[in-house]
Amino acid sequence: MSDADVADADLWLQKLNPAPGIEVPTPASRPVTVADATERLGTGPVEWACQVGYAMTTRIIAEIPEFGGGTEQFESLRMGPESSVIRALIWLSSRAGNLPAITEEALRGDVEFVRRGISLDRVLRGVRLGHAQMAKAFLDSCRELVPEPDQAVQMQLISESLFRYIDDFSGEMASTYMAERERWTISAAAAKAEIVRQILDGSRSDRTEAGRELGYDLSRQHVALTLWFDPVRNSADTPELESAALEALASMGATNSLVMPVGGGKVWAWGSRTSFPPQPTCADYRPAKADIRMAAGTPAADLAGFRRSHREAQAAEQAARLSQPASEWDTHYADVAIASLLSADMALARDLVIRELGPLAENTANAGDLRTTLLCYLQEESSPHAAAQRLFVSRNTVAYRVKRASELLGFDVAERRFELQTALVLAAKFGLRVMSPDTD
């Protein structure tokens, strides 16, 4: 292609803008990557790239679920596709210079893929899927922005440039992955992570030998934790979470601990002792950073307890992430077990809440007061006096609100007590997620 063709590409590339009606995601790429591309091409093309990168990430996870697993995994993966679209924009323009195809963000992804056990063929398949969607986005925009007589030349430029781009990108991605895998597989962290995964999936049952290799006593009672950042930190390292996990376990009385990073911005941890209280808490401990969140399972013994408490911590984490308003820094499974089980299928939970609460499911202060009072009343065995004491209101206020709630529901609250209390628990824990029919 001639310099004139590349100059023409500059003109239409700088006209790129995000699709109307679709939210422009906050960039997942490093600020220096975004700033450099904005200086070269302008804000519109970079915002367009962020949208395309988000769509690429969504498709890759849909096609290859191993890349998914939660918000952290999505955001960590998104850095690669998004930064790649930004870099491809520059490659198609006359401003590329000696910029390499691979981005630092994509290389960081390689490190996480290795540690999560995602195979190289899966990684390269994800690259191919992303490239196909990226190429389509460029070609569609070319048809929209380039005059028809010039489209053939510009489309050929796109095809040739992106072919060279993805060839360089894939080669560097593969070589970096292989080097990281070799380093990781010989590390003690990898060995410990593999032992933990074998215990969790039930394929490892030699408690004494596994405990010796982990440096952690598996014969005692365990409390499992999961820790993460909220809001999510892009490309977050885990030392802060590891430190918080150790301090939280110590505050619970654990005398032995095991901490395992599981990707950017996520940590699993276990603490053990001869016997924990039935519901150990962190007492007055709070992490130094306000965006750290923790979920904890209940105490349980031996290998089965190691697994069970971990499952409970994961369930408590899910409940914490769904809660409205957001939970405090720590969520304990013992406190959310019922809500967690009831929310396993959020669509069915939402149907139950809307059906049972009817007008009480409205997002108004009055409906909220009625729900809070009615739930407290039912929890206190239909005692207006006990409910009034808990809510710090008068007995007459409780009686009036219960009566008003019955009128709005169209039946006596004692008639469908179990279903009604279940719906109220869900509404109290998850708010609009289960009260609005339009919530995803």
**pLDDT tens profile 272-295:** 999 999 989 988 899 988 999 999
Q: Does pLDDT of 3 surpass 70?
A: no
Cβ pair 48, 77 in contact under 8 A: no
Is position 260 within any domain? yes
pLDDT above 70 covers what percent of the chain?
Answer: 95
* pLDDT digits 0-9 by tens, 312-364: 999 999 999 888 666 589 999 999 998 888 888 888 889 999 999 999 999 99
Q: What local confidence, expressed as pLDDT, does residue 71 receive?
A: 86
Is position 397 within any domain? yes
Is position 424 within any domain? yes
DSSP 408-422: HHTS-TTTTHHHHHH
pLDDT-based confidence at residue 6 (cuts at 50, 70, 90): low
Radius of gyration of the chain (CA): 27
- Mean pLDDT to the nearest integer, 353-380: 93
Nearest to 115 by CA among 204, 206, 177, 31: 177
Give 341's contacts (C-beta < 8 A, 6+ positions apart): 315
CATH number, domain at 107?
1.10.490
* pLDDT digits 0-9 by tens, 188-246: 788 889 999 999 999 999 999 999 999 999 999 999 999 999 888 766 668 899 999 99
CATH number, domain at 364?
1.10.10.2840
Cis preceding linkage at 325, omega within 30:
yes
| Domain containing residue 398 | 345-435
Q: What local confidence, expressed as pLDDT, does residue 234 receive?
A: 67
Q: Does pLDDT of 264 surpass 80?
A: no
Q: What local confidence, expressed as pLDDT, does residue 349 receive?
A: 87
Residue where one domain finishes, among candidates 321, 341, 361: 341
Q: How many domains does the chain have?
A: 3
Separation between Cα atoms, residue 139 and residue 133, nearest integer Å: 10
The three-state secondary structure class of 435 is: helix
pTM of the complete model: 0.65
Is position 130 within any domain? yes
* pLDDT digits 0-9 by tens, 380-401: 999 999 999 999 999 999 999 9
Is position 377 within any domain? yes
* pLDDT digits 0-9 by tens, 169-192: 999 999 999 999 888 877 878 888
pLDDT-based confidence at residue 5 (cuts at 50, 70, 90): low
Residues 292 and 365 in one domain: no
Q: What local confidence, expressed as pLDDT, does residue 188 receive?
A: 77
